[in-house]
Every structure is written in structure tokens, then in C-alpha cells.
Amino acid sequence: MKDLIWDIAKSGEETLENTELQSIEEPKELFIARGVSLEAKDSTYKINKFVDNKIALDVQEKGAIKISDTVFNYSKSYKSKTIDLKRLIDWATSKKLSEDDIENLVALCGNTFVPKLRGLDAVAEKKGMDKQLARDTFIEKVWDEEPKLQVIKTSNDAAPVWAKGLKEMERRK
């Protein structure tokens, strides 16, 4: 069954009705075929992730590179996290809510709620607080451990001009 699935995957066949899978009727055989294809999908995902990490480390060290019509670039990514949601709500509402009201808002927003930065900036400005101070007080950046590979298709109209201008195998620091 593994060989059959592998052969079909390699063929790039778009319509599976024209393959040997069409002749399989038994649910147990279909279950096995499904399991093999899921295993293959998981393996190719892991290979792709491994290769992307290696390319990301390379471009992090040596700079972006153009291969064919694709530019590989490194970017350091992060997620924002609210430090203390109750304190943020208390501050935003000028301490006008009861503990119960704050708990209700936290329940509605969820503990992972992160305010929009422009919204936080606007509230800070209304309160006469420095925007950056508000951001630093209520939000922290959690940097990803693994490098982030940015894949840019230079044939795409939205591709950056610098990426379109690179020559084959040329790097940009």
C-alpha cells in the first residue's frame, strides 16, 4: 500500500479516479491508504520545516538570496501578549468597574486577549500617557525561538522592489 500511495504521489495525478485507488472498495483497505497518506503528509511537513529552518539560518547569517524566481529572506517574528489583562481593563476604564465587571470582561475577551496597538495608543493619548510607555506597561513581545523564513515570489506584483532587483544567486545583506 505504501508503494501504491508513493507512486500516486510522485505521479502528480490530479484526478485520483484514474489511479489504482479507484479499485479499492474495502473500508479497511481505504483506512490503511488513508493512514499511509497521513503519515506521508506528516513526513513531508517535517522535511519542509527542517529545510526551511536550514535556509532561514543561512539567510540570517549571509543575507537574503534569490534562487529561480524566489527570494528567501529571514525575519525575526514575535507574538504580542498582554501582561496583566485585569490591570489593563482597570486602567482603560479609569478604575470605574467593579472586580465582578472586570472578571466578566476577562471572561468575554479571554485570557489571551491582546489589544490593538493603535487602540492602546489612542487610549494612552486620551489619558495623556506616552504611547510607548503604555505599550511597555501592558504588552510584551514573545520572540519565536525558531527562525522565520520569508519566501518571496518575485513574479508577484506585490513583491518588494529590492527582491525583484536581485540577480540569480545574488545575496542582499
pLDDT tens digits, one per residue of 56-81: 999 999 999 999 999 999 988 899 99
- Predicted TM-score (pTM) of the model is 0.64
pLDDT at 19 (0 to 100): 86
pLDDT at 69 (0 to 100): 95
Give me Rg for the CA atoms of the chain. 25
Residue 145 clears pLDDT 90, i.e. is over it: no
pLDDT at 76 (0 to 100): 83
d(CA 100, CA 26): 58
Backbone phi, then psi, for 66, in 5-degree steps?
Answer: -105, 125
pLDDT per position as a tens digit, 8-61 = 888 888 888 888 888 999 999 999 999 999 999 999 999 999 999 999 999 999
pLDDT at 146 (0 to 100): 78
pLDDT per position as a tens digit, 96-110 = 999 999 999 999 999
d(CA 85, CA 82): 6
Domain ranges for the chain, please list them: 2-76+145-166, 78-143
d(CA 112, CA 116): 13
pLDDT at 169 (0 to 100): 97
Q: Which three cell numbers stand for residue 112?
A: 489571551
Q: How many angstroms from the chain centroid is the CA of residue 160?
A: 20
List CB contacts of 153: < 8 A, sequence separation 6 or more.
69, 70, 159
DSSP 3-state percent helix, strand, coil across the chain (nearest 5)? 55, 15, 30
Contact 133, 77 (CB under 8 A): no
Contact 148, 56 (CB under 8 A): yes
Backbone phi, then psi, for 110, in 5-degree steps?
Answer: 90, 150
Q: Describe the crossing of helices 85-92 and 131-138 by its angle, rounded to 10 degrees.
A: 150
